[in-house]
Amino acid sequence: MNLPFDPKVLREHQVEWSRRTFLGKSAQALGALALGSLLNPRLLGAGASAAPGPDGRWMGCLPSLHFPPRAKRVIHLYMAGGPSHIDLLDPKPELRRIHGQPFPASFTNGQQLAQLQNTKLIARGSTFNFSRCGLSGQWISDLLPHTQQIADDICVIRSLHTEQINHDPAHAFMNAGSMVKGRPSMGSWLLYGLGAEADDLPGFVVLMSHGPSGGEQPVSARQWSAGFLPGRFQGVQFQSRGMPVHYVGSPDGVCQSTQRQVIDEIARLNGVHEEETLDPEIQTRVAQYELAFKMQTSVPELTDLASEPQSVRDMYGVKEPGDGSFASNCLMARRMAERGVRFIQLYHRGWDQHGNLDTDIKDVCTRVDQASAALVKDLKQRGMLDDTLVLWGGEFGRTPMGQGTGRDHHINAFSAWMAGGGIRGGISWGSTDELGYRYIDDAQQMHVHDLHATMLAAFGIDHERLTYRFQGRDFRLTDVHGKIARGIFA
Q: Name which of 142 and 265 has its Cβ closer to another protein.
A: 142
Residue 443 main-chain phi, psi, to 5 deg: -65, -15
Q: Does 131 participate in binding another protein (rule CB under 8 A)?
A: yes
Candidates 370, 373, 478, 348; CA nearest to 425 is 373
Strands 343-348 and 204-209: parallel
Q: Name which of 83 and 422 has its Cβ closer to another protein.
A: 422
Q: Name which of 122 and 266 has its Cβ closer to another protein.
A: 122
Q: Name which of 386 and 464 has its Cβ closer to another protein.
A: 386
Q: Does 202 participate in binding another protein (rule CB under 8 A)?
A: no
Q: What 3 state SS string does 230-288 have? A: CHHHCCEECCCECCCCCCCCCCCCCCHHHHHHHHHHHHHHHHHHHHHHCCHHHHHHHHH
R_g over Cα of the chain: 26
84: left (phi over 0), alpha (psi -120 to 50) or beta: beta
Q: Name which of 212 and 404 has its Cβ closer to another protein.
A: 404
Q: Does 309 participate in binding another protein (rule CB under 8 A)?
A: no
CB of 228 to another protein, least distance (A): 25
CB contact set of 61 (below 8 Å; sequence gap of 6+) = 47, 49, 50, 192, 193, 466
Q: Which of 76, 85, 124, 161 binds another protein (CB under 8 A)?
A: 124
Q: Which of 285, 294, 424, 481 binds another protein (CB under 8 A)?
A: 424
Piece in contact with another protein (CB under 8 A), picked from 56-64, 160-168, 278-286, 448-456 = 56-64
Piece in contact with another protein (CB under 8 A), picked from 33-41, 129-137, 411-419, 468-476 = 129-137
Q: Does 66 participate in binding another protein (rule CB under 8 A)?
A: yes
Q: Does 377 participate in binding another protein (rule CB under 8 A)?
A: yes
CB contact set of 268 (below 8 Å; sequence gap of 6+) = none
**Distance (Å, rounded) from C-alpha 396 to C-alpha 171?**
9
Q: What is the rounded (10 degree) CA torsion for 253, 258, 262, 267?
A: 140
CB of 166 to another protein, least distance (A): 25
CB contact set of 301 (below 8 Å; sequence gap of 6+) = none
Q: Does 122 participate in binding another protein (rule CB under 8 A)?
A: yes
Task: Write out the DSSP string of 370-415.
Answer: HHHHHHHHHHHHTT-GGGEEEEEE-S-EEEEEEETTEEEEE-S-EE
Q: Does 267 participate in binding another protein (rule CB under 8 A)?
A: no
Q: Does 166 participate in binding another protein (rule CB under 8 A)?
A: no
Q: Name which of 274 and 386 has its Cβ closer to another protein.
A: 386
CB of 44 to another protein, least distance (A): 22
**Distance (Å, rounded) from C-alpha 232 to C-alpha 228?**
11
Q: Does 52 participate in binding another protein (rule CB under 8 A)?
A: no
The most distant pair of C-alpha atoms in the chain lies apart, rounded to whole Å, by 98
Q: Does 65 participate in binding another protein (rule CB under 8 A)?
A: yes
Q: Does 335 participate in binding another protein (rule CB under 8 A)?
A: no
CB contact set of 484 (below 8 Å; sequence gap of 6+) = 450, 453, 454, 457, 463
x/- contact string, 343-372, with another protein (CB under 8 A)? ---------------x--------------
Q: Which of 60, 83, 203, 350 binds another protein (CB under 8 A)?
A: 60
CB of 197 to another protein, least distance (A): 6
Strands 406-410 and 397-403: antiparallel
Angle separating helix axes 167-176 and 186-194, nearest 10 degrees: 20
Candidates 478, 464, 32, 94; CA nearest to 276 is 32
Length of the chain: 490
Piece in contact with another protein (CB under 8 A), picked from 20-28, 217-225, 373-381, 408-416 = 373-381
CB of 477 to another protein, least distance (A): 19
CB of 73 to another protein, least distance (A): 11
Residues paired with residue 388 on neighbouring β-strands, in sequence order: 73
Q: Does 249 participate in binding another protein (rule CB under 8 A)?
A: no
Q: Does 310 participate in binding another protein (rule CB under 8 A)?
A: no
Q: Cβ of 288: how many Cβ atoms within 10 Å?
A: 16
Q: Does 139 participate in binding another protein (rule CB under 8 A)?
A: yes
**Which of positions 75-94 make contact with another protein (CB under 8 A)?**
91, 93
Residues that bind another protein (CB under 8 A): 53-54, 59-60, 63-66, 68-69, 91, 93, 96, 99-101, 122, 124-125, 127-137, 139, 152, 194, 197-199, 339-340, 358, 377, 380-383, 386-387, 402, 404-405, 424, 426-427, 460
